[in-house]
Amino acid sequence: PTFAFVHLIPPHAPYPPPPPHRGLYSSGYTGTIEPEATFLSRFPDKQPIEELTEEDRRFIRDRYDENVAFADAQVGALLSLLESSERYDDTLVVLMSDHGEAFLEHDRYLHSRMLFREFLHVPLVIKWPHGVPDFKAEVTEPMSLVDLVPTLVDGLALSGQQGGYQGRSLIPLVFDGAHRQEPLWATTR
């Protein structure tokens, strides 16, 4: 048995993807800005957003997208390694993000202590190991990442591990088409 927790930093600012991802979308940029966190966090409190041209704004977003492509390639390489070692079918894979990123929605860049959709709406993908009931469903209603552990415990039938979680299992949503009855909460300081 093997456990691996892989924490990818990309696509965090300053969005510096290596080749061949660097320039994938931003190669036509002729401006001078670099999308570093210290620079992006100045808007709009210390610097007016109007100082950025439309080309600058597109470059910042394109550089982020290049960094997402780089992170995606890293996940693909890891999954390929599992496949080539014939461990993919028997491996539980969970892909998620802890937060989203803003690109001038609500006049902000990066992520902050605000509770807007662009910060809260993140992916959660679960690939179950062979032998666990086949999950082909896509759950489209909002859920919380606190539901991950109870879902894994329930889906893997880990007896004796039920209870004591803040979240709840998503298994009924997947198999029974049940709907979430209680609201989702997000807080900030």
Structure tokens at 165: 């979680």
Alpha-helix runs per DSSP H in 85-177:
117-120, 148-155, 171-175
Tell me the average pLDDT across 154-168: 80
pLDDT digits (tens, 9 = 90+) for 23-43: 999 999 999 999 999 999 999
pTM of the model: 0.87
The predicted structure's pLDDT at residue 131 = 79
pLDDT digits (tens, 9 = 90+) for 81-121: 999 999 999 999 999 998 999 999 988 899 877 899 999 99
pLDDT digits (tens, 9 = 90+) for 45-86: 899 999 999 999 999 999 999 999 999 999 999 999 999 999
Distance between CA atoms of 169 and 150, rounded to whole angstroms?
5
The predicted structure's pLDDT at residue 154 = 87
Distance between CA atoms of 43 and 41, rounded to whole angstroms?
5
The predicted structure's pLDDT at residue 162 = 67
The predicted structure's pLDDT at residue 156 = 84
Distance between CA atoms of 70 and 51, rounded to whole angstroms?
29
Kindly tell me if the per-residue pLDDT of 161 is higher than 70: no
Nearest Cα neighbor of 148 from 110, 98, 94, 102 is: 94
